[in-house]
Structure 1
Amino acid sequence: MLLRVLTTILLLIVAVRSAEERRKKKAVITSLHAKWSQTSFLAETSEFMAKESNAIFWKYIEAIVERVNPIEWNSFSDAKQHDMAVRLSVPLLPYSRNKLLKFALSLRVHSPIVQLFQQLGAENVVNCEAYALVHGEVICDAEDLERSVNSANERGPSSTLYSVDHVYMKSRSHETTVIIYGELGSKTWLSLHLAAKKLAKNKKAKYVFRHWSKEARDDKVLLSGYGVELAIKSTEYKAMDDSNIAGKSQSEEGSDTDIPDYEDINGFNFNILRKLYSDSKESLDQFRLHLLEKDELTPLKVWQVQDLSYQASQRIVSATPEKVIGLLTEISQNFPLLARSISRQNVKKEFRTEVQANQELTLSELGIAEGDSALLINGISVDVDPLDVFGVLELLKQEVKLADGFYKLGFKKEYLTILLNIEQTDDRSSYALDFRNAFPEYLNNLDTNSQYRQWGNSVKLMLQPYFPGMIRPIARNLFTLIFIVDPSQKETKNLLKFAYSFYTHEIPIRLGVVFVVNDDKSLSGFEDASVAMLN
């Protein structure tokens, strides 16, 4: 008896490991690469700095000069180069924008612009680790740079500059241009950089820097998979009627009759196992259930599916704060595999009530129906259908910049949430003014003035197509524009100029003026300028 039990336990252990290995073999591992070679994290970080400002870009370059050892730099792995690039940015960026830098590096946002400079540098045939281009002359030695600058005007115009070029701050207006091509952190780039910087400070040349590496790496840039779809189709089909499988398995558990569902599951024939180990049927049934749960295509009953969204959400909100994002990612990416396990999750009554309240109030205001998704960043609605992670990054940059601006004005963290919760609306016409009692002085009348007689006066003309953004000329007072002005104020002149321009160009709008004057009847024009102007 003991030997049989030990044999059964050993069989179960081997079976579980075999099933686990079989499941792991089903995994599909993919990677997405760009068509260009790997680019330097220092270069990409510097481009992030350039987006902040040209001054911050050159401060970052100076940090590289001071803190990066050219000899050690070439021996750094990609991970060390990434850490070094981020570490150098810490003194130059606020904490919030440093987080965005890491996000941008993970997306390789600035790798294309680095590759653009690489292609520009490859247009010149050189045999140098770094070089300078001075009005068509290629210089590899820093000692020859000043000589080439002195004779630059004799060789004609300089190379074309682009809006993405990095021009040293103190040399923008000089006609002689020195373009340095090199890899940040390298020894050859450093010597040329220092020489070009000296010339720029002495106002002898305009210094422009472009990323370039002589030896392109064999490995390509590894990209994130946002917006990329991997479609895998299985050409193996198996037709079977599984409508009553689960019901039969539950009702007939413990019987000795053959059950079709028991015949072959992950390589195990449970009919034979149940006959050989009749006293371990319960353990075999549990092991069979374990294998079924590992199968991501295991069908669920209707009653198990109806609350699956509540159950998945409950599991996420019940996790500890440091595990919430990871659990949300896990459930989102492996939902079919975890569906059966999630279906056993208990949903608290308070949580269900909260979700229903959100759907009735908050989501209804945003026009979101049940089953839809929404992304709000500081109250800004982001369309999730054409979601572009790069657009999200730019939006985050704008919001962080705005928050930093408020912080510098003295708004601390506790006040920022109040600012974000201020109700904003695009409906600016929340009120109207009844100007009829003011008896405006009309400058024209489209119904009666002779200058508008050549226009048609039928309102049906509004149904006919016309140029976009323009008002169709109809000899009717359909539109009225009232200018409310104080004749004694200097600013009134600009408004009256607009009114006169509309009148002379025969814009199809009735124009009127309401003069704002002191309504004290005891005053005369000798005592109040506005009354004098009106009189």
Structure 2
Amino acid sequence: MEYRFRSGFCVLIILVCVSLCGFASVCAQIQKPKNVQVAVRAKWSGTPLLLEAGELLASERKDLFWEFIEKWLHSEENDADSRTAKDCLKRIVRHGSSLLSESLASLFEFSLTLRSASPRLVLYRQLAEESLSSFPPFDDSNLKNEVGGASEANEKLETKKSDSLLVGVNPKSPGGKCCWVDTGGALFLEVSELLMWLRSPSELTGESFQQPELFDFDHIHAESSISSRTAILYGALGSDCFKEFHINLVQAAKEGKVMYVVRPVLPSGCEANVGNCGAVGAKDSLNLGGYGVELALKNMEYKAIDDSMIKEGVTLEDPRTEDLSQEVRGFVFSKLLERKPDLTSEIMSFRDYLLSSTTSETLEVWELKDLGHQTAQRIVHASDPLQSMQEISQNFPSVVSSLSRMKLNDSIKDEIVANQRYMPPGKSLMALNGALINIEDIDLYLLIDLVHQELSLADQFSKLKIPRTITQKLLSTVPPAESSMFRVDFRSTHVQYLNNLEEDAMYKRWRSNINEILMPVFPGQLRYIRKNLFHAVYVLDPATVCGLEVIDMIMSLYENHFPLRFGVILYSSKFIKSIEINGGELHSPVAEDDSPVNEDISSLIIRLFLFIKESHGTQTAFQFLSNVNRLRMESADSADDDALEIHHVEGAFVETILPKAKTPPQDMLLKLEKEKTFMDQSQESSMFVFKLGLTKLKCCLLMNGLVSESSEEALLNAMNDELQRIQEQVYYGNINSYTDVLEKVLSESGINRYNPQIITDAKVKPKFISLASSFLGRETELKDINYLHSPETVDDVKPVTHLLAVDVTSKKGMKLLHEGIRFLIGGSNGARLGVLFSASREADLPSIIFVKAFEITASTYSHKKKVLEFLDQLCSFYERTYLLASSATADSTQAFIDKVCEFAEANGLSSKVYRASLPEYSKGKVRKQLNKVVQFLHRQLGVESGANAVITNGRVTFPIDESTFLSHDLSLLESVEFKHRIKHIWEIIEEVNWQETYPDIDPDMLTSKFVSDIILFVTSSMAMRDRSSESARFEILSAEYRYGLLNAIIHTEFKLNLKFFLPLFL
């Protein structure tokens, strides 16, 4: 066996991402003086049509690439009669179309004719060249003598000169072989070498750290194991070596030995080894379709001729001296004269007439007045309007005279004039299913991609049994506008307000008319209106420097009559950490000493604040916080450490209430510290902040719910931004003097939790995957899921579906599963939960038992009232007892089964199913199922084993910090996704009367799960759609005179720049 090791590990790949225009060159061949033929050719040599067909099918669905390979390999003997390129093209189209629906098959044939997949094959050529160049030269390259070497060098130099503009040069066959396998550490040209490598352990070959780099566009076999070694096959379908390598690598992938990848390449010199059809398209130059070429020609030869006696309509040259072979208005007069020599005089007279008619006729100004309307009339009355439009646009000067003499139909003109009331004349628009397309940027290939996207969605919806009319509505629906403005709904008793502009006496002199906000003021001048328009609520820890400085800023602005309503929400960072450790639950604090030394200073400040507020008022309580900061700063002047200490808090408390207290403040302070007064309120306030998700921000500002920084500059900027929004609402009458502004804005766009990972910026688009393609393909992972529901909602349709990808062998995975179950326990009428279990390491027996018990529960007892409590107890017991255990014995396995049965009986579930099924399950089958989920997640999400994720109707979220990803985040995901992506689709699907549409359908199939699955797959597919945010609806325009096929899925609408409206339904 011969190994060839890499000479370097840095791989340089030049991606073919340049547009086809950039790669194109114009080659003009003039056969006749006035007959110019133009071809736009690519800067690379031709690529095989057979390989292009595979790439086109892979762009539709990844598994179709492998189905096409198998179909072609099994039909090679039956289709051996394909001799010509035309026969091969028909054969390729026939095999590819058999895997697609009728509409997609026609687009597949058209795309294959356009050669739109050729650039991808050029990319594979570059990767193949890099693969070969990473290994030492082959032995036969060193056998050349000096003369031969010099000759070859001269040939290479000449080739380089002639092909200096070529890119993606086809690699030469290595050692005369047409296929090879690259494993990252070695290259195999023979199947025997590959088989020997497969039989050898990876530890012996030392290749575990040299895995070749893979890309999103690579073709990875569905049954490959992602944890195995990588084997990349370079070769062309149709060759014998490809078939041999493919069969062995597929078998190795099924056995879990390799990750099998195919990169289609036909090396130069192997065209004769790929059968009759394997090299079709590779030998010829690649002509590009969809591009027009303008030839600006000017005759630079001038003649001095006296034209004073020339009359209109008389030619300048003698017809007998001209070249009669030239076409005149469609006639070749040399042919006519040969066929009818006896009619020479008449033929030449007719030619003179045609030549005179080609002379540009002068049109009067008034003849141009209705030219656009007349052109529209000619097009809409033609038997083939599209052909007529093309002829007129390309030959307008020759037909303008006849157009101007056409009698105009007044009804067409009236319709055009009426439409111009809505759209300006001279404006051209194009919309695909309602989405506007930039006409200046569109080209044929981009248009084909957009149409393919729409047809693919329509094909998926058809396979999901969605009626055609509903499919048209779905493809034409306009999703709600994406909003980057989310307000945190902080309305709670835990908000401590300092002032109230509408009730406090200090604001009585201010005007109360809200229309004052529209009055002009000098730049920088504030508007003093006795109305709570701006709520500046700060979330802070009162024991931090940031929090205390914010308090001072609030007091300063308040004393200067700043027109804001100030408030704070206080929390303890130490208490928040204990909540995170306890899994997000509010547990009793750890027993502590009663001495103030061990006291949580933040909690103490909060409790003292609440006491002073209750006893002496809110303003005194805020003064207490300000005094705390003053004492801290005075102490910091004489010390390097400016950290807050407990004696600062105690001193501020005594100083604040001393003038108002009836009893000594010191005694009151000791009593409060000892009795832990207001401890519950303090903890609830911290818990409220934790649930809002604002603890990671330390100090932050909520301006009417909008999250900002806590600085004074940020406050002014947030106020100015909010002012413009309120002014707009007041101007349109949505806010008046009696409107509660905070109630209005938070009711309309308020959310209960802030998580920047879910509430993404408008510039950052979340990751989406299409679940419909996986469901409709060979993958069965989604078909095997049994969903969980909130109590008493099993029979309701759930528009939102959370799929949890859980690593059952990790604590983080179990934490995510815990939160999912608690999300359902908390109650959700519009969401359901499914679980995809995987394992980052070899699953032990307790893990397998847990997975099996969970699946039995979800499939058998999901309708039971206390099933969620049972699963919550089961998760806690498994995590606590078995997850961190190094090994499991048979006794512990039986103990686990007994515990499962005990939990089941305690929650009203029969334990018979568990006792009968758990001891007899197949451990190998469960492990195989876990590995299939790992491969599914790798294909869909591109993640390695052990990743935990949440998939919400196709949106993928990877919890960055599982300790802070709570059930509230699942509620936030449900709310955000339902509002922006799901609601409008759900409303359309609700219109379907499945029984009337499909009378033969089994009524037992029409369950809430069936409809929920439809919504899940439709929304995930629509999320992948690359659609313009701008839309147009031409329904408001008159369209009596139009050309269209109305019964179609894809609607392309045009408003053309001919001063008329013409919708075209393709």
3-state SS of the aligned residue for 1:383? Answer: coil
Q: Is the 8 A contact 2:97 2:108 kept in 1?
A: no
Matched residue, 2:240: 187
Give the aligned partner of residue 409 of structure 2. 348
Report Cα offsets for 1:277-311 as digits up to 9, x if no partner. xxx9999886544224446x655443444333333
2:230 maps to 1:177: yes
Amino acid in structure 2 at the alignment position of 1:64: W
Query: Cα distance 1:258–1:115, how it changes in 2: closer, same or farther (>3 A)?
Result: closer
2:185 paired with 1:120:
no
SS for the counterpart of 2:701 is coil
In structure 1, the residue matched to 2:380 is: 317
One-letter amino acid matched to 2:373: Y
**1:112-511 equivalence runs, <5 A:** 112-123=119-130, 124=132, 125-151=174-200, 153=202, 154=205, 156=207, 157-215=210-268, 217-226=282-291, 229-236=293-300, 259=311, 261-264=313-316, 267=319, 287-294=351-358, 300-320=363-383, 323-361=384-422, 364=423, 369-417=424-472, 426=481, 443=496, 460=524, 497-498=691-692, 505-507=699-701, 509-511=703-705
Alignment match, 2:570: none
What amino acid sits opposite 1:67 in the alignment? S
SS at match of 1:203: coil
Offset of residue 379 of structure 1: 0.9
In the alignment, which residue of structure 1 is the partner of 2:583?
A: none
CA offset digits 1:373-419 (Å, max 9, x no partner): 11111111111122243332332233223333443454423444455
TM-superposed CA distance for 1:183, in Å, is 1.3
Measured in 1, the distance between the counterparts of 2:125 and 2:196 equals 26
Deviation at 1:208, TM superposition (A): 0.9
- Structure 1 length-normalised TM: 0.66
Q: Which moved more, 1:499-508 or 1:306-315?
A: 499-508
The one of 59, 66, 70 aligned to 2:67:
59
**In 2, Cα distance between the equivalents of 1:500 and 1:477?**
25
Relative to structure 1, is the Cα distance of residues 427 and 174 closer, same or farther in structure 2, using a 3 angstrom cutoff? closer
Hey, what's the Cα distance between the residues in 2 that align with 1:303 and 1:206? Answer: 74
- Evaluate the alpha carbon distance shift between residue 169 and residue 346 of structure 1 in structure 2; reply closer, same or farther with a 3 A threshold: same
In the aligned structure 1, how far is the partner of 2:691 from the partner of 2:421? 52
Pairwise mapping of residues 15-164 of structure 1 onto structure 2 (< 5 A)? 25-69=33-77, 72=80, 75-77=83-85, 79-123=86-130, 124=132, 125-151=174-200, 153=202, 154=205, 156=207, 157-164=210-217
Contact 2:232 2:263 in 1 (8 A): yes
Cα distance in 2 for residues equivalent to 1:83 and 1:414:
33
Q: Which amino acid aligns with 1:354?
A: E
Structure 2 CA distance for aligned equivalents of residues 414 and 39 of structure 1: 41
Q: Secondary structure at the match of 1:331?
A: helix
1:110-144 deviation digits (Å, cap 9, x = unpaired): 21111111222234244212222234433333344
Contact 2:228-2:256 within 8 A present in 1 as well:
no
Going from structure 1 to structure 2, the CA distance change for 1:461 and 1:225 (only over 3 Å counts) comes to farther
Q: Percent identity of the aligned residues?
A: 25
| Whole-angstrom CA distance in 2 between matches of 1:287 and 1:445 | 98
Q: Letter of the aligned partner of 1:214 in structure 2? A: P
Deviates further, 174-183 or 504-513: 504-513
Change (3 A) 1:375 1:233: same
What letter is aligned with 2:245? L
Q: Note the C-alpha offset of 1:56.
A: 2.0
Q: What is the CA–CA distance in structure 2 between the aligned matches of 1:266 and 1:498, rounded to whole Å?
A: 92
CA contact (8 A) 1:480 1:510 kept: no
Q: Write the distance in 2 (CA, Å) between the matches of 1:337 and 1:131.
A: 60
Equivalent residue letter for 2:524: K
User: Residues 129 and 213 of structure 1 are in contact (CA less than 8 Å); yes or no, is this contact kept in structure 2?
Assistant: yes
Structure 2: 5+ residue stretches without partners? 1-30, 133-173, 270-281, 323-343, 502-521, 527-552, 568-686, 706-741, 748-1066
Q: Residue 316 of structure 2 aligns to which amino acid in structure 1?
A: D
Structure 1 residue identity aligned to 2:394 = Q
Matching residue's letter, 1:222: N
Q: What amino acid does structure 2 have at the position aligned with 1:460? A: G
Structure 1 residues 144-194: Cα deviation after superposition (integer angstroms, max 9, x where no partner): 421132347315324322222111111142422222111122233222211
Aligned length: 426
Summarize the Cα distance change of 1:343–1:265 in structure 2 as closer, same or farther, 3 Å threshold. Answer: farther
**Structure having greater relative contact order (Cα 8 Å, sep ≥ 6):** 2
TM-score, normalised on structure 2?
A: 0.35
Q: Partner of 1:34: helix, strand, or coil?
A: strand
Distance in 1, Cα, partners of 2:565 & 2:41: 59
Q: Distance in 2 between matches of 1:291 and 1:480?
A: 88
CA RMSD of aligned residues (A): 4.7
**Letter of the aligned partner of 1:509 in structure 2?**
M
Question: 2: distance between equivalents of 1:480 and 1:27?
Answer: 81
* Other-structure match for 1:17: none
Structure 1 range deviating more: 495-504 or 307-316 = 495-504
Work out the CA distance in 1 between the residues paired with 2:116 and 2:430. 22
Question: Distance between the aligned counterparts of 1:339 and 1:44, measured in 2?
Answer: 44
* CA 1:33–1:351: 2 relative to 1, 3 Å: same
Give the secondary structure class of the aligned counterpart of 1:28: strand
Amino acid paired to 2:182: L
Q: Is the 8 A contact 1:45 1:105 kept in 2?
A: yes
Which amino acid is the alignment partner of residue 87 of structure 1?
Answer: R
- How far 1:196 sits from its partner (Å)? 1.6
Checking the alignment, whether the CA contact within 8 Å between 1:262 and 1:269 is kept in structure 2 is no
SS where residue 360 of structure 1 aligns? coil
CA distance change for structure 1 residues 348 and 122 in 2, over 3 Å: closer, same or farther?
A: same
